[in-house]
Amino acid sequence: MTLERQQATRPGYTAEIVIVLLLSLGQSAVYAIVSLSAKLTADKPLAQQTATLNPTVSPRPYLDLTYQLLGIVFALIPVMLVIYLLLRDNISPSRELGIDYRKPGFDIGWGVGLAAGIGIPGLLLVYAALQLGVNAQIVPSGLQPYWWAVPVLILAAIENAVLEEVIVVGYLITRLRALSFSTVWIVACSAVLRGSYHLYQGFGAFVGNAVMGVVFALFFLRYKRVMPLIVAHAILDVAAFVGYQLLPDSWLSWLSL
């Protein structure tokens, strides 16, 4: 992109960012705030309420499977939109965002490391927040134990990872840098957005995901690659979703204490 065209395009970036977010994770953030407000004004304490991820949509197994797959596919449409918008401005998602397979060792290595570094402290934070009464009990999977439940949960984990990391990190940070935001504001915007659409789970989830957002934003600013973040996020969600689905009920009862 020429400098003149980039400067002419920048005033439109603010409106573009707002529209993209309202079509995707910004919309989720609004619903999360409303959901948290409903929980806080309910008759029982927040810690005695639940936040269910991947809920069953229909009691009919194959209809539920259809709904689950459609939800995963349509959730990725905003990702296609931001890739199109970046390509329109001659910004290569491969070169500028690191969305490619050129460095599998780097991506997997850092992805596993980030997942380990964030996952264990994150579990402890959520547990502590639940004990303090500032977080709901999280149910990572509400699916019935159908044969397709685990594959769908894995697909849902990958979808979450791609959607969040491409939009909240790769796209948003790229646009905010073009708008000449400072590094502090870029990291803060990305982190607060990540935390806000997890507010339906409670304040502990907000803090934990905001901290994760700071780490991921700084990583992207340093290495210009989204793929390790997708790997890390997918590992965390697969472990949570599939682990919950497969753990015996006696273990789940102990974890929710």
Which residues share a beta bridge with 139?
52
Number of domains composing the chain? 1
Q: Which residue has the tokens 């060792």?
A: 105
- pTM comes to 0.92
212-257 pLDDT tens trace = 999 999 999 999 999 999 999 999 999 999 988 887 554 444 444 4
> Quick check: 1 pLDDT over 90?
no
Across residues 194-203, what is the average pLDDT? 97
Domain that holds residue 205: 3-255
Sign of the alpha-carbon torsion through 219, 224, 226, 231: negative
According to DSSP H, which parts of the chain are helical?
3-9, 11-22, 25-40, 61-75, 77-88, 93-97, 104-132, 149-164, 172-178, 183-196, 203-223, 227-246, 249-255
- Characterise 192 by phi-psi region: left (phi > 0), alpha (psi -120 to 50), beta (else): alpha
134-175 pLDDT tens trace = 999 999 999 999 999 999 999 999 999 999 999 999 999 999
Question: Which pLDDT score, from 0 to 100, does residue 3 have?
Answer: 46
Question: Which pLDDT score, from 0 to 100, does residue 9 have?
Answer: 61
Closest CA to 53 of 166, 197, 201: 201
Asked if residue 144 lies in contact with residue 152, where contact means CB atoms within 8 angstroms, the answer is: no
Higher per-residue confidence, 130 vs 172 = 172
Q: Name the residue type at position 90.
A: N
